[in-house]
Amino acid sequence: MTGLLSALSKAGRQAALRSDLGPNDAWLQSKIERSRRAMSEADDNTYSSNLGQATVTGTYDDYLRIDPRVLADVPGAMGEERYRPDPRKIGDLRADIARDGYQESPILVHVREDGEPFVVEGNHRIIEAIESGRPTIPVRVEYLRGAEDVDGMLSPSALGVIRSMLPAGLTGILGSLMGDNRERQ
């Protein structure tokens, strides 16, 4: 879906990827193996069966603005796509918007080490945004177990993010030294 992905943050600037793959390859491999075991032992349609353990190794320093149509077919972390849209939940969401106005609330997406994304929070907000014609919605993308280095629909390269070759900690230090005063997480 060319043109529907953007790594622009809510402030309209290029979002920066923060990545920490752990102390060494053995550490990362142990996290992947532990998650595969958790996935194989978990009940169907649970977070654990689809994503294993949530070892976040990469995320952006701000929410991304993404066209909600990009996320329409992304499965829910607990199989929620089987029930989307739930007319009662969509109705409740629309009533809240009618009463309080549209309040942006970021969608949370976890991307597994094979590049497969899953919606953790916000399945019905995605549907509402598509049906209401919202051009973009705020999305927090978190990469699990090295997924930021794997091609996929929400990979940094698909989002047009230029990757720094510097470690995350050093990137933050250099930003501070160069006068980058943005709020840090």
Tell me how far apart the alpha carbons of residues 24 and 57 are, in angstroms, rounded to a whole number.
12
Average pLDDT over residues 150-162: 88
- Greater confidence, 161 or 129? 129
Tell me how far apart the alpha carbons of residues 129 and 69 are, in angstroms, rounded to a whole number.
9
Tell me how far apart the alpha carbons of residues 116 and 72 are, in angstroms, rounded to a whole number.
14
Please tell me the pTM assigned to this model. Answer: 0.80
Tell me how far apart the alpha carbons of residues 184 and 67 are, in angstroms, rounded to a whole number.
25
Tens digit of each residue's pLDDT (9 = 90 or more) over 70-96: 999 999 999 888 777 788 988 999 999
Cα–Cα nearest to 65, from 144, 3, 152, 143: 3
Tell me how far apart the alpha carbons of residues 143 and 112 are, in angstroms, rounded to a whole number.
7
Cα–Cα nearest to 37, from 149, 145, 146: 145
Cβ atoms within 10 Å of 50's Cβ, excluding its own: 20
Residue 118 class from Cβ within 10 Å (0-12 exposed, 13-18 middle, 19+ buried)? buried
Domains recognised in the chain with CATH numbers: 17-177 (3.90.1530.10)
Tens digit of each residue's pLDDT (9 = 90 or more) over 5-56: 555 555 556 788 888 888 888 999 999 999 999 999 999 989 999 999 999 9
Q: What is the pLDDT of residue 3?
A: 44
